Amino acid sequence: MNRSVTVVRSEADRAPAESVLQASPAGSRLFVVYVAHGADSWRSQPELMLPLTAYGSALTQFASTYQWLTRAVAAERISLAVLTEGVYRDPAEGVEALTTAVTIAAQEQPGLRAKHIDFAEGNIDLDCLLREAQSDSTAAIVYRGGERYELQYCLAPASRPNISAGRRPYTGVCLITGGLGTVGHVVAQHVGRAGARILIVGRTDISGTDSAACHARERLQALHAAGIEAHYERADVACGEQLEKAVRAGEAALGEITSVVHAAAAIDGDRFLGFLHELTPAALNTQLAPKVAGLVHLDRLLGNRRLAFRCIFSSNSVLLGGLGYAAYATANALVGAVADELNRRRGEGGLWQVIEWDVWEVTARKSAHGAVQLGTASVAAPMPTAEALECLDRLLEAGDVRTLVSVTDLVKRSEVIRMLLSQKPAQDEADGGAKAGPEPDRQATGESLVELARRTWQRALRTQVTDEASFVELGGDSLSAIKVVLEVNRRLGTALSPRDMLQAATFKDFVLALTEAVSAASATVVPSWPSSQPAQSVASMLQERWFAMDRRGYGHLAFAVEIGGPLDLHLARTALGVLSRRHAVLRTRYRPGDVLMQELMEETSPVVKASDVSTEPSRVRAAAVRDALERTASRFSLTEEVPFQVELMRIEPERHRMFGRMHHIAVDGWSFTLMLEDFERIYAVLEQGGDPSLIPPAPQYAHFANAQRRYLDSPEIIPVRQYWQRHFAGVGGPTKLPVAERPDLCASGDPEAARSISVTVESEQLARLAGFAHKRRSTLFPVLAAAFALMLRDATGETDLVFGTTAAGRHLPGTDSMLGVFVNPLPLRVTLDDPSDIDASFRSVNDSLLGFHNNQNYLLQDLIENVEPFVGLDINEAFHAYILYQNFPKVATEGSRIYRVEESESITAIEDQVSGLHSSETKLMRDFELVINDRQDGKLMLEFSYRQGKFCRQQVEQWVAAYIAHLESFAAAESMAREALAQ
């Protein structure tokens, strides 16, 4: 096979390389990037200050060339060989930083096959180079003295016979850099409890008032409260003078240092993140400074001392790659190289130990997502903290100078990484949404723009629409606006937002906005979602969250659906089987590992129990219902069972019940509606003797999961993240309601168990609230949320509030018809400058909600890693008060059956005869929640739930009364406006 080979060494080589690109056929290109590494030059420097040497320049030189190449070849497949001389001084040592960068390059560009080939200086063999570049060998190949070395790894024993697990070298004074960071603090607790005095050195000014200072103070106080003698000195370890001063002051307070843990790193905020093609000297130096420069200064200060141990905390991303954090991964590889050189100079005794860690559980709790922040290197199930600390004990006693730790076998782990990356190229069915869909069909049907828009409105609102009709006045809300916009965008290739929808005063105004959007739309085809499903695929980040929540007892869904009308139980059972085959998420179980995987149970079909009790006495019918409800209360094992179990029961000749249990990992409220509509669609076809396989196939959620993971890996998330960083800039933290001195208790004793108070808003008052919103060109929910904010202000005295609400999560075209979990909870900030001005309060909430919905393509996992003041919080602590308006589409069928849904995470009886039946108390995910539901009689149901371990009923009743009073204020304002208009 002929191949075009291009050598790129510098900027000067790029112009001739361009001509090669244009002349050579696609898929036949091999680029050789020669990197002048200068390894000996930096190794010969006494101070080893790598940020100022050719080593850092080599990395940024490669990154710059890589950036140009990826732009030049777009998505085409190319081979890239990074050629160096003398980088690997000893092939038996650890991975070099340039190899880590090459590994990341292949991860960022799935069409790229990249490897690092290192020859001895002056001994480059071109034939060998070309052969290696085109082979399927590993990421690094080294030639020395006629011998070929390939990057591999072998499993080391977890313990050794000569090691006493009970003996730990923790005495005297242990210096821990970064000791108030998440991992550093855990290590400080561990070492301190074993008897050592702890000297912590870090950058944070703990006397400050910002959230970082508060967190640092709390952690230092926690050490003192545990009886640990700990002393903190503020210093930037990258500055030798500051570090020396801190060491002297610390030794004056605690005594001479006898051991060191170097855990300093720059992993806060955006400094942690970045792709290889964005790598600049400044970005690299941000990561090198605390790790590498800090190590050099520590060695200068303490290198000649006899210490019990000197340990460096690194990351296994040096081997596995760091998709989304290139500078961090390469800096970890670099610190290992510097430690090797320092050890080589020292010879025997007093050696630095480098531990390349996997993710610890304590950090995974604040950064559970793998995509951007953790990448493919560390998205494994995290190390339990106790096991990580035991591993630390053994490694320090063993004394190995370089160890990589992984919770799973690296060979299998690498296979998973390659599988994930193989899904990234746009390959129709394999790609999560990259497949080109059909052209918009408006022209094919002869439908005008106005007709399409009107039909879309009428479908969402279920009423006739005139030119002067107002979307809000007809009952539209933000979620139905999203649904309209999604359908219009999908059909026309436009890029409207829900804000465009809600700001249009009338249907005619919306058509004008739509006409402008069509004119501005590009010619690109809107993606559609494939209907096939791979046997195994990654779970979405939302599913990963629910998998973690399931372990805490959350996520189980029990439901009861009343079906009015004729229903053949045999056909209904068949329809449920077809339904399960149409939606893979209903027959999927979950396999934890490097990433949470969806495992499709291809042959699984729901076992549907069907019974007819219509001729039985009422007490027998009631008992049958009671038993069915009790069966829905049992929980799933998500690793062993598919989260979909259904039971059918005929109560009367044309009155039936569908009982079942599901899990939030598979569906949300919107999906439940879609599921029932699809069931009716299938049943109607079977009822007419038709073939349900002819129904158009359903889009599969696994492709959305893949797309979501790719989005978190892409630069597209950066402006959204920046919006949320601006939105919360300067806020103190999530709003907390005052805890009762004597909270409610219950028999279970679970402090997270829920108690609730229900209130009904009458239809007349509801109409006035909707009128208040309509006159301000908004919807009902901002009014409900504004009353909630005012209630929080009354209870806390705070005017800068942070509470939670939920985005529908179906902003991508096509997701409005997909079964899966999309509901996306996020915190919202509202500032009430003048709480007595209800119009100003409403505007503040309304503006915040518009920003919320326009930037809803964001996740809690990213927020708690990158957005202050949430950094470091548990995923369930981003907000403590929460409001949810469950106004997702209700079941709408065209058959002869009527569906009435009663769904709750606590089982509530639906038969009068068993009205007292309910399940054991529900666990509440947040301290205080308000869930709002539309009732079929035109009223609004408000359910206030609270954790019994924090609040008492009398206290909550006061808050409920305050909320109702604020709603009445909004309704009264509307009444006054009507009266003024009448006069």
Residue 318 confidence (pLDDT): 84
Residue 380 confidence (pLDDT): 58
Which residue type occupies 779? T
CA atoms within 13 A on the CB side of 622: 10
Residue 909 confidence (pLDDT): 30
- Tokens for 964, please give them: 């109702």
With 70 as the cut, is the pLDDT of residue 278 above it? Answer: no
Residue 371 confidence (pLDDT): 30
Residue 747 confidence (pLDDT): 55
With 70 as the cut, is the pLDDT of residue 646 above it? Answer: yes
Q: What is the pLDDT of residues 21-30, one digit of tens each?
A: 333 334 445 6
Residue 970 confidence (pLDDT): 93
With 50 as the cut, is the pLDDT of residue 860 above it? Answer: yes
DSSP one-letter code for 559: E
Per the listing, tokens 């999530």 go with 734
70 pLDDT tier (thresholds 50, 70, 90)? low
Length of the chain: 983
Which residue type occupies 91? P
How large is the average pLDDT for residues 872-894? Answer: 81
Return the number of other C-beta atoms located less than 10 Å from residue 793's C-beta.
20
With 60 as the cut, is the pLDDT of residue 351 above it? Answer: yes
Q: Which of 80-84, 424-428, 457-461, 469-473 is the least confident region?
A: 424-428
Q: Is the torsion defined by CA of 65, 66, 68, 72 positive or negative?
A: positive
Q: Nearest-CA neighbor of 884 among 823, 817, 975? A: 823
**CB 367 within 8 Å of CB 373:** yes
With 60 as the cut, is the pLDDT of residue 387 above it? Answer: yes
Per the listing, tokens 């301190």 go with 192
Q: What is the pLDDT of residues 166-218, one digit of tens each?
A: 445 788 999 999 999 989 999 999 999 999 999 999 999 998 887 788 889 99
Residue 834 to residue 952: CA distance in whole angstroms: 29
With 80 as the cut, is the pLDDT of residue 623 above it? Answer: yes
**CB 673 within 8 Å of CB 483:** no
Task: Tell me how many degrees the CA angle 237-241-246 measures, rounded to the nearest 5.
Answer: 65
DSSP one-letter code for 788: H
- Predicted structure pTM score: 0.50
Collapse the DSSP code of 746 into the 3-class scheme (helix H, G, I; strand E, B; otherwise coil) and give the result. coil
Residue 378 to residue 371: CA distance in whole angstroms: 9
Q: Nearest-CA neighbor of 294 among 261, 320, 270, 272? A: 261
Q: What is the pLDDT of residues 749-806, one digit of tens each?
A: 788 888 999 999 998 999 999 889 888 878 899 999 999 999 999 999 999 999 999 9
Q: How would you write 216-245 as a 3-class SS string? A: HHHHHHHHHHCCCCEEEEECCCCCHHHHHH
**Higher-pLDDT residue of 948, 886:** 948
CA atoms within 13 A on the CB side of 462: 8
Return the number of other C-beta atoms located less than 10 Å from residue 626's C-beta.
15
**CB 821 within 8 Å of CB 550:** no
Task: Tell me how many degrees the CA angle 482-487-489 measures, rounded to the nearest 5.
Answer: 90
With 70 as the cut, is the pLDDT of residue 423 above it? Answer: no
**CB 351 within 8 Å of CB 82:** no
Residue 160 confidence (pLDDT): 44
Beta-bridged to residue 114, according to DSSP, are 80
With 90 as the cut, is the pLDDT of residue 820 above it? Answer: yes
Residue 416 confidence (pLDDT): 62
**Higher-pLDDT residue of 298, 382:** 298
Residue 187 to residue 596: CA distance in whole angstroms: 28
Return the number of other C-beta atoms located less than 10 Å from residue 22's C-beta.
8
**Cα-to-chain-centroid distance, residue 377:** 16
With 80 as the cut, is the pLDDT of residue 369 above it? Answer: no
Collapse the DSSP code of 144 into the 3-class scheme (helix H, G, I; strand E, B; otherwise coil) and give the result. strand
**CB 871 within 8 Å of CB 865:** yes
Q: What percent of the chain has pLDDT over 70?
A: 75
Q: What percent of the chain has pLDDT over 90?
A: 37
How large is the average pLDDT for residues 920-945? Answer: 85
**CB 300 within 8 Å of CB 247:** no
Q: What is the pLDDT of residues 967-980, one digit of tens each?
A: 999 999 877 655 55
- Tokens for 605, please give them: 């079909």
Helix (H) or strand (E) holding 911: none
Cβ contacts of residue 378 below 8 Å, gap of 6+?
A: 315, 316, 317, 320, 358, 359, 370
Q: What share of the chain is helix, strand, coil (3-state, %, to 5)?
A: 45, 20, 40
**CB 564 within 8 Å of CB 900:** yes
Q: What is the pLDDT of residues 680-699, one digit of tens each?
A: 999 988 988 888 888 888 88
Q: In Å, how far are 152, 579, 681, 971 from 674, measured between CA atoms?
A: 49, 11, 10, 34
**Higher-pLDDT residue of 293, 911:** 293
Q: Nearest-CA neighbor of 926 among 370, 551, 544, 552? A: 552
Q: What is the pLDDT of residues 708-736, one digit of tens each?
A: 988 888 888 898 999 999 999 999 999 99
Give the E-state strand segments of 620-731 in sequence order. Answer: 644-652, 655-663
**Which range has the top average pLDDT, 83-97, 126-140, 736-750, 933-947?**
933-947
Residue 836 confidence (pLDDT): 84
* 104 CB-contact burial (10 Å; exposed 0-12 / middle 13-18 / buried 19+): buried
Return the number of other C-beta atoms located less than 10 Å from residue 767's C-beta.
13
Q: Which of 325-334, 744-753, 940-949, 972-981 is the least confident region?
A: 972-981
The answer, yes or no, to whether the previous bond of 25 is cis (omega within 30 of 0) is no
Q: Nearest-CA neighbor of 320 among 473, 136, 104? A: 104
Return the number of other C-beta atoms located less than 10 Å from residue 46's C-beta.
7
Q: Nearest-CA neighbor of 109 among 154, 76, 150, 153? A: 76
Q: Over the chain, what is the mean pLDDT?
A: 79
Residue 773 to residue 842: CA distance in whole angstroms: 9
Collapse the DSSP code of 52 into the 3-class scheme (helix H, G, I; strand E, B; otherwise coil) and give the result. helix
